[in-house]
Chain A
Amino acid sequence: MSAPARRSRPRGLRPGTVLAVIALVLVSAVVLLPIAIIVLTAFKPVAEVNAYPPSLLPDAWTLDNVKEVTAELPFARLVANSFLFAGGVTAFALVFDSLAAYALARIDFAGRKVLLVAIIATLMIPFQATLIPLYQLVADLGWVNTYAGLIAPRAADAFGIFFLRQFFLSLPRDVDAAARIDGASEFRVFRSVVLPNAVPALLTLGLFTFVNNWNDLLWPLVFTTDADMGTITSGLTLLTGPGGIVPHGVMMAGSLIAILPLVIAFLLIQRRFIENIATTGLK
Chain B
Amino acid sequence: MTTTNPTSRRYRPPAPLGGRRRATGSPAGRNARAWAFLAPALLVIGLFTAWPMVAALRLSFMDASGFGREEFIGLDNYVTVFTDPDIRDAVLNTLWYTVLFTPTAVIAALALALLLNSPHMPFRSFFRTALFVPFVVSFAVAAFAWSYLIDPQVGLLNHWLRGLGLQLGNVLEDPELAMPAVALVAVWKLFGFYFVIFLAGLQDIPSSLYEAARMDGAGPWSRFRNVTLPMLSNTMAFVLIFAMIAALQAFDQIYVMTGGGPYGHTQTLVMEIYESGFRKLDIGFASALSYVLLIATLLLSLVQFLFFGRKEKDLTS
A residues apposed to B, CB below 8 Å: 1-3, 6-7, 9, 11, 13, 17, 20-21, 23-24, 27-28, 31-35, 37-38, 41, 49-56, 95-97, 99-100, 102-104, 106-110, 112-113, 115-117, 119-122, 124-126, 128-134, 136-137, 152-158, 161, 173-174, 177-178, 180-181, 183, 186, 190, 211, 214-218, 222, 233-234, 236-237, 240-241, 248, 251-252, 255, 258-259, 262-263, 265-267, 270-271, 274, 277-279, 282-283
CB of B199 closer than 8 Å to a CB of A? yes
Shortest beta-carbon distance, A254 to chain B, in Å?
8
Q: Are the C-beta atoms of B197 and A277 separated by less than 8 Å?
A: yes
CB of B145 closer than 8 Å to a CB of A? yes
CB of B167 closer than 8 Å to a CB of A? no
Task: Indicate the member of A100, A128, A161, A214 with the most B CB atoms within 10 Å.
Answer: A128
Q: Are the C-beta atoms of B154 and A107 separated by less than 8 Å?
A: no
Docked pose: A32 CA to B133 CA in angstroms: 8
Closest 8 CB pairs of A and B: A215-B138, A133-B55, A109-B34, A278-B200, A100-B41, A103-B37, A130-B52, A153-B48
- Interchain Cβ contacts within 8 Å, total number: 323
Q: Are the C-beta atoms of A262 and B136 separated by less than 8 Å?
A: yes
Q: Are the C-beta atoms of A174 and B7 separated by less than 8 Å?
A: yes
Question: How many chain B residues have a CB neighbour from A under 8 Å?
Answer: 114
Q: Are the C-beta atoms of B38 and A115 separated by less than 8 Å?
A: yes
Shortest beta-carbon distance, A196 to chain B, in Å?
17
CB of B177 closer than 8 Å to a CB of A? no
8 A Cβ contacts from B1-51 to A: 1-3, 5, 7-8, 11-12, 20, 22-24, 27, 30-31, 33-35, 37-38, 40-42, 44-45, 47-51
Across-interface contacts of B104 in A (CB, < 8 A): none
Q: Are the C-beta atoms of A28 and B220 separated by less than 8 Å?
A: no
Contact of A156 among B41, B132, B196 (CB under 8 A): B41
Q: Are the C-beta atoms of A174 and B133 separated by less than 8 Å?
A: no
Q: Are the C-beta atoms of A237 and B255 separated by less than 8 Å?
A: yes
Q: Are the C-beta atoms of A156 and B45 separated by less than 8 Å?
A: yes
CB of B90 closer than 8 Å to a CB of A? no
Nearest-neighbor residue (CB-CB) of B145 within chain A: A34
Q: Are the C-beta atoms of B7 and A177 separated by less than 8 Å?
A: yes
CB of B164 closer than 8 Å to a CB of A? no
Q: Are the C-beta atoms of B27 and A2 separated by less than 8 Å?
A: no
Docked pose: A225 CA to B112 CA in angstroms: 42
Shortest beta-carbon distance, A164 to chain B, in Å?
10
Across-interface contacts of B255 in A (CB, < 8 A): 217-218, 237
Q: Are the C-beta atoms of B316 and A113 separated by less than 8 Å?
A: yes
Shortest beta-carbon distance, A148 to chain B, in Å?
12
Shortest beta-carbon distance, B63 to chain A, in Å?
14
Across-interface contacts of B56 in A (CB, < 8 A): 129-130, 132-133
Contact of A17 among B24, B122, B126, B132 (CB under 8 A): B122
